[in-house]
Structure 1
């Protein structure tokens, strides 16, 4: 019985594979990964009732266009967060993908102001309102209520409808370089809200509960 040896080597986005038997048979192959280019912004913020226009994504591999599959839909009549995933697969079956986030804000005047200092386990999180978006956009300086300054996450976020709160992906939210995004969190009232932070390092996925 012949033994078969398989080796893999990745150089500059190309995958090299070779198979060798213990005879002198050799087979080599090079695959070019799919490259996706997003048109428009990765984060789109709309007001309830606005029209969402799909800007699309193009994909290619080795200079040849690939079919792009789109998963997800946006209903701007319902304020919340929507995700549209774009994916393409090269001729050798290797996938690649991109995601666009669409935040739909309520068109009703907000009755909850989250400006001020909130606490989690006695650790402060200072929230400041930003201009625009009918008073629904904020920034906070400690999105997890942590006690190590270099890992504190500064994140912009949205009061979607006085019930939902969401912080979009920030590729460098901390001085130490942590990337992070929240789930769709919950606003109880002007003095209480919570979310989960999905971070690239340090933090787990426990509820982060903030109170004045």
Structure 2
């Protein structure tokens, strides 16, 4: 009987030992630590260049020293009368300072474990030297649409929390370019959905825009009137 007790004790200890080893194997690798790319941008996130000027990318590095690659997409000013989706396309490859528009530089990095990250810089090539006195900032309304808040981000460049309007409940933010206080251009942008347009600023501050949302349809909606009335 005593020998049986010893045998049972030995078997129980063996079960505990091997069970413990198996748990260690099951958790092997779960507690590994990996560092995602942490970007350090040289220069500003938003840059403006006047047509014909020069742009040199200040670059981006990572804290961890991971290599960084970059790619560029761009969209030129909208030309009145040429706003079919086929006429408004993204270009890629470089910031062309001879073509006014919006250029997005996307910086990417991947760590040795395969985890990647990105950050972006936006370059605006303006049609002319902007008038620093021009300021579209304020609160706007467009029919029954959710209101918009427009903020100045640089001379000649503004960000609208909603550029669609016209009674639609859809909210689509976008950058607006206005260098002279009269003409407004909205190069094609990827925000919630693609959007682009152009228009003018009325004497009372109302934005009279012809906006297009090519992803809405079919058929795509072209040059829809969107009047944004500035609050007094």
TM-score range, shorter chain: 0.5 to 0.7
- 2:134 is equivalent to residue 101 of structure 1: no
Question: Greater relative contact order (Cα 8 A, min sep 6): structure 1 or 2?
Answer: 2
Are the counterparts in 1 of residues 51 and 97 from structure 2 also a CA contact under 8 Å? Answer: yes
Higher helix share: 2
Q: 2: distance between equivalents of 1:23 and 1:117? A: 60
TM-score norm. by structure 2 comes to 0.50
Say whether residues 1:211 and 2:222 are aligned partners.
no
SS at match of 1:30: coil
Return the match for 2:97 from 76, 80, 87: 76
Q: Does 1:194 align with 2:194?
A: no
Q: Do the aligned residues in 1 keep the contact of 2:159 with 2:173 (CA within 8 Å)?
A: yes
| Cα distance change on mapping 1:211 and 1:120 into 2, 3 Å | same
What stretches of structure 1 move > 6 A for 4+ residues in a row?
113-118, 124-132, 152-156
Q: TM-score, normalised by structure 1?
A: 0.54
Equivalence for 1:176: none
Partner of 2:58: 55
In structure 2, relative to structure 1, the CA distance for the partners of 1:195 and 1:43 (3 Å cut) is: farther
CA distance in 1, matches of 2:210, 2:144: 15
Q: 1:42 aligns with which of 35, 42, 45?
A: 45
Over aligned residues, Cα RMSD in angstroms? 4.8
Contact 1:141 1:154 in 2 (8 A): yes
Q: Which runs of 5+ in 1 are unaligned?
A: 1-20, 170-179, 197-205
In the alignment, the residues of structure 2 paired with residue 98 and residue 132 of structure 1 have an alpha-carbon distance, to the nearest angstrom, of 20
Report the CA distance between 1:120 and its aligned residue: 3.2
What is the alpha-carbon distance in structure 2 between the residues aligned to residue 84 and residue 52 of structure 1? 12
Q: CA deviation at 1:97?
A: 0.9
Alignment map for 1:25-174 (pairs within 5 Å): 25-26=25-26, 27-28=28-29, 29-61=32-64, 65-72=65-72, 73-107=94-128, 120-122=142-144, 133=155, 136-137=156-157, 143-145=163-165, 157-159=176-178, 162=183, 164-165=185-186
CA shift at 1:52, angstroms? 0.5
Higher strand share: 1
Number of positions where the alignment pairs a residue of Structure 1 with one of Structure 2 = 162
